[in-house]
Amino acid sequence: MLSKTVCSALNKQMNNEMFSAFLYLNMSAAANEMGFKGVANWFSVQYQEEMVHFMKFYAYINSQGAQAIVDKMAKPASSFPSLMNFFQETLKHEQFITKSINELTELAVNEKDHATQIFLQWFVTEQIEEEENDREIIGKLKLIGDNGYGLLMLDNELGTRVFVPPPTA
């Protein structure tokens, strides 16, 4: 059973995951429009992963006999001036998500809600990978600068990313 406070915080995070999904879907379309098909693919996979995150919260809240509620959300950005900007904004957003997952975990600890703590552990680990991926791409973009061949190679590399649904999704 979830306390009202934990349930409300889980619902809020579920909606944050939905916002993340639509932010990355916008980024995918923007990258496609700029001609970076590989970057568009990378963000399309990112969108699918966020929908998995959203559904994990949705299923967990419902499994606890509470009600998951999809809420109105802020409008995600749709305009990005450079490739570097795509990934800087992504890292910034993921750092915000990490902070909110950490706060949610602290709340579960304070409320002695062990089931929610266990549920959130997957997300704590996932956020390490999310931020690491973004930092790696930002690092490559710094090395490449405005070298067209380098950008093409990176776009090709990002085009190979494949969505792998987790077994529990």
Binding site for ligand FEO (CB under 6 A): 17, 20, 50, 53, 94, 97, 130
Nearer to ligand FEO, 36 or 123 (CB): 123
**CA 136 to the chain's CA centroid:** 16
Nearer to ligand FEO, 94 or 155 (CB): 94
CB of 20 vs ligand FEO, minimal distance in Å: 5
- Calculate the alpha carbon distances from 147 to 41, 56, 63 in Å: 21, 40, 51
CB of 57 vs ligand FEO, minimal distance in Å: 9
Rounded distance between C-alpha atoms, residue 4 and residue 32, angstroms: 42
Mutual orientation of helices 83-110 and 37-63 as an angle, nearest 10°?
Answer: 10
CB of 36 vs ligand FEO, minimal distance in Å: 20
Q: Which two tokens stand for residue 78?
A: 């749709």
Nearer to ligand FEO, 46 or 64 (CB): 46
* 94, 134 contact by CB (below 8 A): yes
Q: Which residue number is nearest to ligand FEO in terms of Cβ?
A: 53
CB of 70 vs ligand FEO, minimal distance in Å: 16
